[in-house]
Each structure stands twice: as structure tokens, then as C-alpha cells.
Amino acid sequence: ETESKVHIVYLGEKKHHDPEFVTESHHQMLASLLGSKKDADDSMVYSYRHGFSGFAAKLTKSQAKKIADLPEVVHVIPDGFHELA
Amino acid sequence: TTRTWEYLGLSSANPKNLLNDTNMGDQVIIGVIDTGVWPESESFNDNGVGPIPRKWKGGCESGENFRSTDCNRKLIGAKYFINGFLAENKGFNTTESRDYISARDFDGHGTHVASIAGGSFVPNVSYKGLAGGTLRGGAPRARIAMYKACWFHEELKGVTCSDSDIMKAIDEAIHDGVDVLSISLVGQIPLNSETDIRDEFATGLFHAVAKGIVVVCAGGNDGPAAQTVVNIAPWILTVAATTLDRSFPTPITLGNNKVILGQATYTGPELGLTSLVYPENARNNNETFSGVCESLNLNPNYTMAMKVVLCFTASRTNAAISRAASFVKAAGGLGLIISRNPVYTLSPCNDDFPCVAVDYELGTDILSYIRSTRSPVVKIQRSRTLSGQPVGTKVVNFSSRGPNSMSPAILKPDIAAPGVRILAATSPNDTLNVGGFAMLSGTSMATPVISGVIALLKALHPEWSPAAFRSAIVTTAWRTDPFGEQIFAEGSSRKVSDPFDYGGGIVNPEKAAEPGLIYDMGPQDYILYLCSAGYNDSSISQLVGQITVCSNPKPSVLDVNLPSITIPNLKDEVTLTRTVTNVGLVDSVYKVSVEPPLGVRVVVTPETLVFNSKTISVSFTVRVSTTHKINTGYYFGSLTWTDSVHNVVIPLSVRTQILQNYYDEN
């Protein structure tokens, strides 16, 4: 339960054209969940900000569940992997 | 690729074809998400390639052994994404890793794939004298942008790609302005409910497609069993793999002068007349013998020393061959003949040790000869290259098959292309590397063939939607090989290919350039699919960025405007709708002709479609009813619109289910 694993938080189509603004909104969302900007920065793996909105972050299960409940979140899933075909 | 484009009718020798009409795909940008690229490869030389397209916003990221100046007018972009991989593999030591912490390719797979899709001309390339010719990509003047999201992991002894890295690669590729995205990566089967829209792979790509990028993905190598195809989202082009009309016959001459042509890529010296043995307990003593390839190590050394060994295997992987060869070599043997079901992934034995594959029938012939004489002998000559007839084309054994286990009404795969023993560029680190090139097999190699063809079509029809390209290649595909011969699908027994083996068929680039009509799809069609698949309004609204309310009752998945009709559960009758858009002559008249699946009635209304300057798109209905009285398998047919110049063909696949949601074992 306490171990942090990478989760992908998907937010759908971008709501702002400015990628910087999109990334900032991701950090704010994460900071409000984790309690501080520093924690958010440590947790953030990627901000997806050009083709769509979302981010990858190191979260515990309960944190993932909590953020998934936010209205603007479409879904949260644990990171997966693919192989060469 | 020294054969692929002749086989598909895209020879550079023909001054008037899709290749030359589009300046070989110049100005089109192909993005590849894979293991990186070897920039010095001749396949990425930029001789004769014009300035970088003005719209390009990508870049060439420097990193370990990779300078930003390693890019050129051909390889115009190279980025790498490793954060997700590092976060998942905390013990990974980047300084000790053999992979390059940059866009440089360690494994070779990414270089191979990029070379197939858009590699430049490289004359006089061969694999140790085999498969010789001019190496080139499908769109030799298209530009390549590599997004490295796959990393060699020592402990895994292989490559892995984290979804979070892939998602970032997709995000950057959309930003940079690629036109085609070629992805030879596959997830796991069985698919589960998480792998449709919630599969980040498909979700991220939905946005790429919504922005006009054509996304081409591998269908997977888990065939020949049914329902093994992956990357099944309707907005993605999913590719199956066939053989080429090329093989490498290797003469085996028995002591009775019978010559058998096995398959191998053996390029060593001729093995003169040598004793031939099939290890078995001929003398009924208490010693142990085995003629099974995987158990040759059970034989006493004297059985195999200084001999060529015949063995049999039920294995469909190459592991059996390499293991058997090592046992024979360890015992001092001089060669190996493996009898097995065809799998077409024959890779050479190490150190050019003579090892040749035959099928069970020929293997049994050889065994009969061995048992018919006191001192059986054999001669093995080096392999040759045989191109064109009489070599036929097959859907290769490992190519994953439909139906689409997630949404069977969405036909997958979409299309097929050659993906067996494809010669293309690779990294020097690749164990199969010979002079910077290698022959690899997989739907990984078939996928960039389609990406290359799409790049040419994109240069010809820049305004087409991604769905239009998919429609164009499906409705014009070869259902036979390019010479009119049947295409068989390898499996536990060979059978004639059907849409679940190769979708619309083998890509036919010249026909796809002028398909006549297209079954187009836009955001509304994808929304229809998502609603029909039961996703809730809010998810769909957020995905597409606009408020969306699904109709109630929800729409039928059978009405998604795909260039195929697949009905998995027909009970008595169903009527569905399709819309076609004219992309040929403004004033055109098309008539329908139907080849109904066995025992199925198909009525199309209207039977004639008239297009003019005011009527660009026309809808028609298809009423399908069954005469079967039992639950059947799928029967296959086709629906064709023709104006006597274009044949716009879509596959029809119908399964009768009198008893719904039913499974039995009889």
C-alpha cells in the first residue's frame, strides 16, 4: 500500500493551448493531492501536454484512487509495458 | 526490402507509379516509436533529399553517443524517453547499461523498422550473398523521426517499453508534426477490459488520429490461434504479416541421388557426401537414443560425431533449432536437418553451421531413405535465393489472428504486408547484424511496410483523413497474391486465408492511390463507436474535448462506418448502414455486387449509387439474414461497388448465433 508506482493520470483533450499552462495545471493537481509543490515535483514523471492532457506520476494505490475520483480525471491506470513485435 | 517493393508493384524502375508520382514521399514525416536509430546507417543517408519540411517542429536530442548533428535531412528527429522505465526499474544502472542513454539504437529493431518505412536507396546489399538487391524503404524520400521509448534491460535479457514513456513519445510526436506514426510494439494478450480506451496506447493514439496523423500498429506475433490480434482500436491501422514471394532453397542430396530443397540461410561451404543418421535404438540394446531435436543431447556422442543428424520437432520456435545444433556440434556432428511444421522464422545457425529445415513430409522421406540402406549419406549445399513464382505467399504462422476479442464487430487485422525475413538496416550490436543489415521477421516488419505506403498515399492525398487511408488500402487490397494465386494461412493446418488472417488482404499500393470510393470516419464516427461500446458520456466528452451525450438506446456497433462488415451474433436479421464518399471522377455511377457468405442473405439498398458535383457522399443499407438453423462459425463473403473502373471491395464476415452468448465444445 505504501509503495509508490508509476500511474498514468489521463485528463482527455487539453483545455488550454499553452503547454506550459497545461503542465502547471498538472503540478497543481498533484500538489493538492500530495500536499506540497515539492512532493508533486518529486512524484511527477511526465506531463502530457501537446496532443492531449495528462501526466505520469509515482503514486501509492490510495493516492491513485483518490485522484481518480476528481471530476476532471477520465481515468487512472498503473503503468504497463509493451514489447517489440 | 530488396524484394518487398517489386513484390508490391512499387518498383523504382517504373517511371509512372505511386512512388515516382509522389517524389517518393518527400515532405511526408514518418514517426517511429521503438528502440532508437543508428544514424550512421547508409539507409539514412540524405543524398538527394530536399530541405526539411517547414512545418517540422521536432528536434534531434543529444545524449550518450548521440549528437544533435547526427541528424540530417532524412533523419530529421530523434528523441528518447526513459523516465518511466527508470521509475519502474529502480535498480537500473544507466552507466553500466549496454544500451545508449540517448536515441541511439542498441538493439537494432528500431533501425530496422525505420529503414523499412522510409530508408534511402542502398545498392548492392545482401545477407551473405542471399536476398541481394537495392535496399530501400517504402517511401525513400520521406523523413524519419525516431522516438526511443524502448530500452534493453540486461536482467530481462531483452527490450521493454513502459507505457508512460510511449505516451510521452506519442505526445511529442503530435507536437513535432509527424504525418504517419509507425508503432511495432504490442501489449499482452488476453486483452482485458482495460485495453480498449483505457489502454493508454489506444487513448493517446486517439488524439493523434484526431489530429490527422495516420497510426499504423503491429497486430502481434501470437498466431496462428484465433483472437490473438492486439492493437485493436478502430482508429488504428492494425497490420498482419505475410511471406514474400521469396525463399532460400537449400539443396539436400541423399545417397540415392534424390534432391530435397529445404529452407535455410546457410552460406557456408558445401558439405560433401557425409554420413547421415537419425538417432534411434536400431540395435535394441539398452542405450538411450532420441531423434527429437530438443533431446539430441541424450544420444551418445558416437551416434552423431562426424555425421549429419536428422531430427523431428513439434516446436514452432527457433529455440529448437539452435538447441539441436548445439547438441550436434558438441558431439562433433557436421550438420543438422530439422523436420517441423513451417514457421518461417528460420534464423541461421551460429558460425554458419549447416542446419536446414524441411517439413514433416520431406523429413519422413529422408528417414525412409536412412532406414532403407546400411550407410546413408547426404550432401548439403549452400542456400540460394529464389524470387517470384513458383514461390507462393502465405499469411505467416505467427501473425496474430482475428476476430477482435474485445469488439468482434470491428474487423482486425485491417491489412497485411510482407513481414518475413525482411532485409533492412540494423545496429552493429544486433547479433544478426551482417555489414549493418539483418533479416528479421515479425509483424514489426510488416507494419512499416504499411507506414511507407501510407506516406506515399499521404503525399498524393494530403487532405485525406486517417480513416480514408485505411479504407483506401483495405478496399483495394489483393485477396490473392499479386499474381492471382490463392493466399494460404499457416496454422495447425494450412487453410485459405480469410479476413481474420489478413483483413482486407495484401496491400496493393497502386490501387489504393485511386480507390474510387472511401468509407470515411471522423470524430463523430469514433464517438458512435465509443457510445456503442458502452463508454459513459463524461469519459467520451473528456476524450474528444466536447460535451457528448450518447443516444438512447445506444447506437449499434454494426453501424460504425468501417470498410468491412463483421456480424458476430446474427440471430435472424439485421440492417446496418454504411456511407461512401466519392474521391474519383465527380460524375460516377457505382453498382453493387455481393458475394454472400454461405447460408446468409444480403440485400443492399439502393443497388446503384450516383455521384455528381452536388452528391459527394451517399449512404446505403445492408440487410443481412441467416438461413442457418444452428450456431455456426464465421462464413465469409464480400460486398463490392464497381463503376467498371474501380472495384471497392469490403469483406463480409457473418456468424449465426441462434443461441446467443453460447459456447459449446462439440
The pLDDT-based confidence of B200 (bands split at 50, 70, 90) is low
Residue ranges of the alpha helices (H) in B476-624?
499-502, 509-513, 523-532, 537-544
A3 Rama class: left (phi>0) / alpha (psi -120 to 50) / beta: beta
For the residues B434-438, what does the mean pLDDT come to?
A: 95
According to the model, what pLDDT value does residue B612 have? 97
**Which residues, including other chains, have CB under 8 Å from residue B91's CB and lie 6 or more apart?**
none
Is the predicted pLDDT of residue B452 greater than 70, yes or no? Answer: yes
- Confirm or reject contact between A50 and chain B (CB < 8 A): yes
Rounded-to-integer distance, Cα B551 and Cα B547, Å: 13
For the residues B53-77, what does the mean pLDDT come to?
A: 96
Q: Which of B87, B211, B543 sits opposite A12 (nearest CB)?
A: B543
How close B112 comes to chain A (CA, Å)? 12
Q: Which of B107, B220, B538 sits opposite A85 (nearest CB)?
A: B220
Least confident of B39-43, B198-202, B626-630: B198-202
Is the predicted pLDDT of residue B382 greater than 70, yes or no? Answer: yes
Helices (H) and strands (E) in chain A, counts: 3, 5
Q: How many alpha carbons lie under 13 Å from residue B75 in its C-beta half-sphere?
A: 30
Is the predicted pLDDT of residue B665 greater than 90, yes or no? Answer: no
The pLDDT-based confidence of B94 (bands split at 50, 70, 90) is confident
Question: Which chain A residue has the Cα nearest residue B82?
Answer: A45
Closest CA to A85 of B34, B432, B4: B34
- The label of the residue with cell 496491400 reads B507
Rounded-to-integer distance, Cα B54 and Cα B51, Å: 8
Phi, psi of B205 (to 5 degrees): -70, -25
According to the model, what pLDDT value does residue B199 have? 59
Q: What is the pLDDT of residues A42-82, one digit of tens each?
A: 999 999 999 999 999 999 999 999 999 999 898 898 998 89
Is the predicted pLDDT of residue B140 greater than 90, yes or no? Answer: yes
- The label of the residue with cell 449499434 reads B556
- Considering only CB atoms, which chain A residues are within 8 Å of B543? 12-13, 74
Is the predicted pLDDT of residue A8 greater than 80, yes or no? Answer: yes
For the residues B243-257, what does the mean pLDDT come to?
A: 95
- The label of the residue with cell 517489440 reads A84
Inter-residue contact A54 to B153 (CB < 8 Å): no
Rounded-to-integer distance, Cα B272 and Cα B284, Å: 31
Rounded-to-integer distance, Cα B592 and Cα B605, Å: 9
Active-site residue flag, B109: yes
According to the model, what pLDDT value does residue B344 have? 64
H helix or E strand, kind and range, residue A22: helix A19-34
Closest CA to B528 of B504, B507, B556, B501: B556
Q: What average pLDDT is seen over chain B?
A: 93
Rounded-to-integer distance, Cα B5 and Cα A71, Å: 51
According to the model, what pLDDT value does residue B346 have? 67
The pLDDT-based confidence of B195 (bands split at 50, 70, 90) is very low
B427 is written with which cell numbers? 545496429
Inter-residue contact B565 to B622 (CB < 8 Å): yes
DSSP bridge partners of B379: B253
Rounded-to-integer distance, Cα B413 and Cα B538, Å: 30
For the residues B493-509, what does the mean pLDDT come to?
A: 93
- Confirm or reject contact between A70 and chain B (CB < 8 A): no
The pLDDT-based confidence of B2 (bands split at 50, 70, 90) is very high
A52, B204: Cβ pair inside 8 Å?
yes
In angstroms, the first-to-last Cα distance of chain B is: 45
